[in-house]
Amino acid sequence: MLKLILKYATDLQIGVVALLYFASAWLGHALAFTGTTALSVWPPSGVAFALLVLMGRSVWPGITIGALAANLLAFWNTQGLSQQALIGISVCIALGQTGEALTGRVLLTRWIKDSYPFKNTRDTFRFLFASVFMCVIGSGIASFSLWMAGIINSISFGGYFIHAWIGNVVGILLFTPLILAVAKLKRITVPTSKLAEGGICVASLVGLALLVRFGYFNNTLINSLPYLLIPFLLWLAFRFNLVAGMSVSLAASLTAIYFTVQQVGPFVQSQPLESMLFVQVFIGVISMSTIVLSATVAERTLVQEQLKKFNANLETMVQQRTQALHEEISTRKSAEQKLMQSNRELSKRNSELDNFVYSVSHDLRAPIASVLGLINLARKDNDPAMKNEYLNRINTSAMQQDDFIREILDQSRNARLDVKKEEVFFEPLIEETFNQLKYATTASTSLEKIVSIQQTEAFHSDRWRLKVVLNNIISNAIRYRNGREPVIRVNVAIQEQKALIEVEDNGRGIGREHLARVFDMFYRATDDGAGSGLGLYIVKETLEKLHGQINIESEEGRGTLVRLEIPELA
C-alpha cells in the first residue's frame, strides 16, 4: 500500500489541489453580492498560490482541473450561452488562473528567493507587489474571455476587470499568508498568559459582532467599527504570530462580507458594487497591515535573538580571552620564574666554575709538587730509613690526589647522568662502603662500627648515588678522628616509602661557625688533614638529584651526627 501511495504521490497531490481549489471557489461564490457579476473575494487565488509554493510546480494540473470545474458550474445557467462558449470560457479562465498562480510562484522563487516571505519587511512588500502584479493575469484573461463571449460589453469591461482584480488580490492577501504560516508551524504551543490574551481578544471581537448584529450601536458607532478593529490587529501582531493575526483578519473579513450582504454594518452603500468595493478596500487594508506588522515584529524578534546570541557569544569570547590572558600571564610568570631560577643557577654555576678552576689547579698541583720534592730528597739521601719515609709521604700525596680526582669524577657523573631506579639493600651497601674505605684513608685500621638496619624488602633508588653519599659521610667520620679509636654508628630505617639514615661519629666535630657553609664547594672547616672541600658539596648535590634532605648536628671535640631522609623513587 505504501509503495502504491509513493508511486502515485504526485497524482494524489494533484487531486487534493483540485478538490481544495473547487471548495474554495464554492466559498467565493457563497460570498457573492446580489446583483453583481464580480465576486467580493476569490479565495482560490490565494489557495492556488500557497499550494504551488508548498507542493511545487508539478501540481499545477490540479489548479487547472479545479478551476475548470468551478467555472463550468459558475456559467452553467447563464442564459444565451452555448455549450461551445461555456467550455471555451471555462477553459480560458482556468488557464488564466493557472498562469496567475505559476507567475506568483516564479516571482516568489526568483525575486524573493524564499518560500516564506514574511520574515522581514522587505520580502513582505515584495510579496505584496507580486500579488498585485500576478492578479492582473487571471483577472485580465477572465475579463477578456467574458467580453469575447458577450457576457460583458465594452463599457463594463473596465469595471469588471477592476473588481475581479481586487477580488483576486484580496483572496491572496487573506489566504496565502495564513496557509504558509500554518504550514511553517512545527508545533502549536501557546503559553497560558497568551492563551488568556487570545481569549479576551476573541471575546471582544465576538461581542462587537453581536452588538452590530442586534442593533445596539447607532449609525455613528457602526460607521466607526472598522477603526475599532485596528487596535485588535495591532494587539495580535505585536503579541502573537502571523497565524493569529491572519485568522482574526479572515474572520473579520468574512463577517464584514456576511453583514454587508445582509445590508447591515458600516459598509452598506446604495449600490451593491459600491458596498462590495468598500468591503474589499477594508479587507485589503487590514490584511496588508496585519502582514506588514507581523513581518516587522518577526524581523525585530529575529534581530533581538541574534543580538542575544551575539551578546552570549561575545561574553563567551570575553571569558575565553580573559582565561587565555590569565593563562598567558601565568605562563609568562612561570617563564620569568624559570628564567630567574636559571639565571641564579647559572650565576651559581659560574661562581662554582671559577672556584673549581682555581681549586682544581691548586689541589692538583700541590700533591704533584710534594711528590716531586720528595723524589728529589730521596735521590740525595742514602739513608734507607728515610727512603721509606719518603715513599710513605709520596703514597700519601698520591692517595690525596686520587681522592680528589675521584670526587671530581663523582660530581661530574652526578651532574650528567639521569637517576637510575634500582633495588637497594642497605646492609651490603654499607658493608661494601666500609671495606673500600678500610685502606683508603689515613686513619688507623682499628675502627669500631655499629650498624643497625631495619629493612624487610628492597628500597628503590639510585644505588650508585646512595653509595657516593654514604662514602663521603663515612670517610669524613674516619678521616677527622679525635685522637682516639673511631666509633661510627650507622642506623637505617625504612618507613613510609622513605629511608631514614643516621651516621654518628666520635670525631673532632665541626665548629658552629662553620655549619652554615660546610656544603659550599671547596669549603674546608679545618686545614688539619685537609680534604678537597668537595665531599659534603657532592653529598648535597647528589641528594638533590634524589629529592632527599640532609641535616648535620655537630659539637666541636665531641663528634658529628648526620641525618639523611631519602624518598623512594616512584
Helix (H) or strand (E) holding 560: strand 559-567
| Helix (H) / strand (E) containing 462 | none
Q: What would the grid cell of residue 276 be? A: 462590495
DSSP states along 122-145: HHHHHHHHHHHHHHHHHHHHHHHH
The pLDDT averaged over each successive group of 10 residues in the chain (570 residues) is 51 88 87 75 91 89 89 73 80 90 89 85 89 90 85 81 89 91 74 64 69 59 67 71 81 82 78 83 86 84 84 85 86 87 78 58 58 66 68 67 62 66 86 75 66 88 83 83 82 89 87 77 62 74 86 85 88
Indicate the pairing of strand 498-505 with strand 422-424. unpaired
Q: Locate cell 453581536: which residue?
A: 210
| Amino acid of residue 57 | R
For 482, the 3-state DSSP assignment is coil
Question: How far is Cα 453 from Cα 150, in angstroms, rounded to an integer?
Answer: 130
Which among 79, 133, 83 is positioned nearest to 105, based on CA atoms? Answer: 133
Give the span between the Cα atoms of 99 and 133, in whole angstroms.
12
Categorise residue 264: left if φ over 0, alpha if ψ from -120 to 50, beta otherwise.
beta
Q: State the Cα angle at 61 between 56 and 67, rounded to 5°.
A: 115
DSSP conformation class of 457: S
Within its chain, how far is the Cα of 75 from the centroid?
A: 66
Please, is 354 exposed, middle or buried when counting C-beta atoms within 10 Å of its C-beta (0-12, 13-18, 19+)?
A: exposed
**Distance between CA 136 and CA 96 in Å, rounded?**
10
* CA 18 – CA 214 distance, rounded (Å): 39
The three three-digit cell numbers of residue 442, written as one number: 689515613
CA dist., res. 532 & res. 245, Å (int)? 101
Cα–Cα distance for residue pair 532/521, rounded to 1 Å: 9
Residue count of the chain? 570
Q: Which pLDDT belongs to residue 169?
A: 92
Which among 531, 187, 443 is positioned nearest to 434, based on CA atoms?
Answer: 443
Alpha-carbon separation of residue 553 from 244, 561, 564 (angstroms): 93, 5, 12
Chain centroid offset of residue 470 CA = 58
The predicted model scores a pTM of 0.56
Burial class (CB in 10 A: 0-12, 13-18, 19+), 49: buried
Alpha carbon separation from 367 to 187, 191, 370, 381, 480 (Å, rounded): 101, 101, 5, 21, 20
The pLDDT score that the predictor gives to residue 528 is: 58
**In this structure, are strands 459-461 and 498-505 parallel, antiparallel, or unpaired?**
unpaired
CB 157 within 8 A of CB 337: no
CA gap 468, 544 in Å, rounded: 13
- Residue-level pLDDT at 418: 75
Determine the Cα–Cα distance for residues 285 and 279; give it in Å rounded to an integer: 10
Grid cell, residue 431, equals: 658493608
- d(CA 19, CA 21) in angstroms, rounded, equals 5
Q: Which residue type sits at 310?
A: F
Which grid cell is 182? 500554518
Domains of the chain listed by start with CATH number? 2-312 (no CATH), 419-567 (3.30.565.10)
C-beta separation of 432 from 478 below 8 A: no
- For residue 1, what pLDDT is reported? 42
Cα-based distances in Å from 245 to 77, 178, 493: 39, 9, 90
Please, which contacts does 145-153 make with residues 24 or more away whose CB atoms are closer than 8 Å? 145/88, 145/89, 145/92, 145/93, 145/96, 146/37, 146/89, 149/81, 149/85, 149/88, 149/89, 150/80, 151/37, 151/75, 151/78, 151/81, 151/89, 152/37
Across-strand partners of 501? 492, 564
Per-residue CA distances from 487 to 41, 131, 387, 472, 558 (Å): 124, 115, 34, 16, 12
User: Reduced to 3 states, what is the DSSP secondary structure of residue 165?
Assistant: helix
